[in-house]
């Protein structure tokens, strides 16, 4: 058996937990596939890493040339319980053998109901809740807006600078960054209004004033520019993901929820990236005791199978007429089985607590790196959702070239890291929560060397 065949045969959590490079990066097999890809796929569909995957599990990803990488990305916060996690595979396999699809709009099944019950139980707040399932994060956001509009009879949607909510026609308008997400794809959906983010590192009036200034701007937008009675919902990520892992300055997130309550506007927490133990709480809202009216989830929900959800107050969710919501594949039975395996893994393996431990390990090492590297402008994050923002030394000017150099250095040494940020100058770390300590430490050593080499 070749190295790759072995890796595939023992995929999932059984995969040997080592970093091992056996070819140059990318290797010959990845280069061959890249050539086929270039001839078959459109140019605008790109990948951050040049290596084709063969197997994944625990804290590693093995490529088609047999190289084993330490994975600090989890496929963008998706495989939090590990790739091909045992409970996910067992439940999904069983479901695959029973039936793969009926369409929930045609014949319902128990797995869908069970996932909704679990989300109603796990999401913040003791109020009566209902959940509806979808396929992608963007689709969940689209539907959260539909529910909010129906329940309030209003149309306006307020979002923030640096927000990311997806790439569909509505969510593209809700997403802040033009390139690559919106450029040339307009006209954009209307009735979307944007307010400044309380971004401590880049607050125009300084970090101490970040909350007060951003709140004043939001109040002005709501009360003066748009009119509270025109606004269905305010949508905010508890920690902004694609925008650069921006942790809002203290008090901002709960104050936005409170302002919404006072104005009769629904508060939607977009936990597509922050959800499912990632930030050291089951949901990031819990950190500041916020109970949103609606919460959107996806990424970490089903261990890599497509599944997303909107969970909300029963009286909001029940306003939509029969048949008003749904989709052919929404809440696919195999995805539902996988989600139940994910939830069981998080609860049984103590992954909420594990995310906190990972956060402590990362923040400690990254602060050491920051102390000796003048390109590190900011270190931030919570739990296993951590980032560093790179700038030209002595300024706050974004340095995306330094980020690219660190990513390349790490990749060539067998460590996969992702980038983010409105200015492309943020390195983000989202390791699978099941990554063993020795791989975390080894990855952080490589990262440290990468900064020293800049
Ligand atoms: C990824 C993401 C989305 C979009 O999810 P897709 O499944 O890619 O459509 C929406 N909101 C947040 C916060 C995200 O991180």
3 pLDDT above the threshold of 80: no
186 pLDDT above the threshold of 90: yes
Structurally, at CATH architecture level, domain 88-348 sits in 3-Layer(aba) Sandwich (3.40)
5 pLDDT above the threshold of 80: no
- Given the structure tokens 């600090």, which residue do they identify? 72
Burial readout 124-154 (b: 16 or more C-beta within 10 A, e: otherwise): bbeeebbbbbbbbbbbbbbbbbbbbbbbbeb
Q: Where are the domains of the chain?
A: 3-85+350-453, 88-348
**Cβ–ligand 1 contact at 273 (below 6 Å):** yes
pLDDT at 12: 84
Atom of ligand 1 nearest to the CA of 139: 9
21 pLDDT above the threshold of 80: yes
pLDDT tens digit sequence for 212-228: 999 999 999 999 999 99
pTM tops 0.85, yes or no = yes
Q: How high is the mean pLDDT of the chain?
A: 97
Quick one: pLDDT band at residue 35, thresholds 50, 70, 90?
very high
**Which of 64, 77, 61, 56 lies closest to 28 in space, CA to CA?**
64
**Cβ–ligand 1 contact at 284 (below 6 Å):** no
**Which of 73, 35, 107, 428 lies closest to 240 in space, CA to CA?**
428
Strand order in the sheet with 294-297: 129-134, 308-313, 294-297, 266-270, 231-236, 156-160, 192-195
Q: Is the CB of residue 155 less than 8 Å from the CB of residue 149?
A: yes
161 pLDDT above the threshold of 80: yes
CATH number of 3-85+350-453: 3.90.1150.10
Q: How far is the CA of 9 from the centre of ligand 1 (A)?
A: 32
Quick one: pLDDT band at residue 361, thresholds 50, 70, 90?
very high
**Cβ–ligand 1 contact at 238 (below 6 Å):** no
Q: How far is the CA of 143 from the centre of ligand 1 (A)?
A: 13
Mutation pick for ligand 1 pocket among 241, 292, 308, 428 (CB with most ligand atoms within 8 Å): 241
Quick one: pLDDT band at residue 277, thresholds 50, 70, 90?
very high
Average pLDDT, stretch 366-377?
97
pLDDT at 42: 98
pLDDT tens digit sequence for 49-68: 999 999 999 999 999 999 99
**Cβ–ligand 1 contact at 75 (below 6 Å):** no
């Amino acid at each position: 058996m070749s190295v790759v065949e072995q890796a595939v045969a023992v995929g999932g959590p059984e995969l040997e937990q080592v970093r091992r490079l056996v070819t140059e990066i990318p290797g010959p097999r990845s280069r061959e596939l890249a050539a086929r890809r270039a001839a078959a796929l459109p140019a605008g569909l790109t990948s951050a890493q040049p290596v084709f995957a063969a197997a994944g599990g625990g804290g590693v990803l093995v490529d088609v040339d047999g190289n084993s990488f330490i994975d600090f990305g989890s496929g963008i916060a998706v495989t939090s319980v590990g790739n091909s996690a045992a409970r996910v595979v067992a439940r999904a396999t069983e479901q695959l053998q029973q039936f793969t699809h009926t369409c929930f709009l045609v014949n319902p099944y128990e797995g869908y109901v069970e996932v909704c019950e679990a989300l109603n139980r796990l999401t913040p707040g003791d109020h009566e809740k209902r959940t509806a399932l979808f396929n992608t994060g963007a689709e969940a956001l689209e539907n959260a807006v539909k529910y909010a509009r129906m329940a309030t009879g209003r149309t306006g949607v307020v979002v923030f600078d640096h927000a990311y909510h997806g790439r569909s026609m509505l969510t593209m308008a809700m997403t802040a960054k033009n390139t690559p997400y919106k450029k040339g794809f307009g006209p954009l959906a209307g009735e979307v209004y944007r307010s400044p983010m309380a971004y401590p590192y880049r607050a125009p009036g300084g970090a101490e004033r970040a909350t007060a200034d951003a709140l004043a701007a939001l109040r002005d937008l709501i009360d003066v520019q748009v009119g509270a009675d025109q606004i269905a919902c305010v949508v905010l990520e508890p920690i902004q993901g694609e925008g650069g892992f921006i942790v809002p300055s203290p008090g901002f997130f709960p104050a936005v929820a409170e302002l919404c309550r006072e104005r009769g506007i629904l508060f939607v927490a977009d936990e597509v990236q922050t959800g499912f133990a990632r930030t050291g709480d089951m949901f990031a809202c819990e950190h500041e005791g916020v109970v949103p009216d609606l919460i959107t989830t996806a990424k970490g929900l089903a261990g890599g199978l497509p599944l997303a959800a909107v969970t909300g107050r029963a009286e909001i969710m029940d306003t939509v007429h029969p048949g008003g919501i749904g989709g052919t594949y929404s809440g696919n039975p195999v995805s539902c089985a996988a989600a139940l395996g994910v939830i069981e893994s998080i609860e049984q393996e103590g992954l909420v607590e594990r995310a906190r431990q990972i956060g402590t390990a990362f923040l400690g090492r990254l602060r050491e790196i920051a102390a000796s590297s003048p390109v590190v402008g900011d270190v931030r994050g919570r739990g296993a959702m951590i980032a560093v923002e790179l700038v030209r030394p002595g300024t706050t000017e974004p340095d995306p070239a330094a980020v690219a150099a660190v990513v390349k250095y790490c990749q060539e040494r067998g460590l996969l890291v992702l980038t983010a940020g409105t200015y492309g100058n943020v390195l983000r770390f989202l390791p699978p929560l099941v990554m063993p300590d020795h791989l975390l430490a080894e990855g952080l050593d490589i990262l440290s060397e990468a900064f020293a080499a800049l």
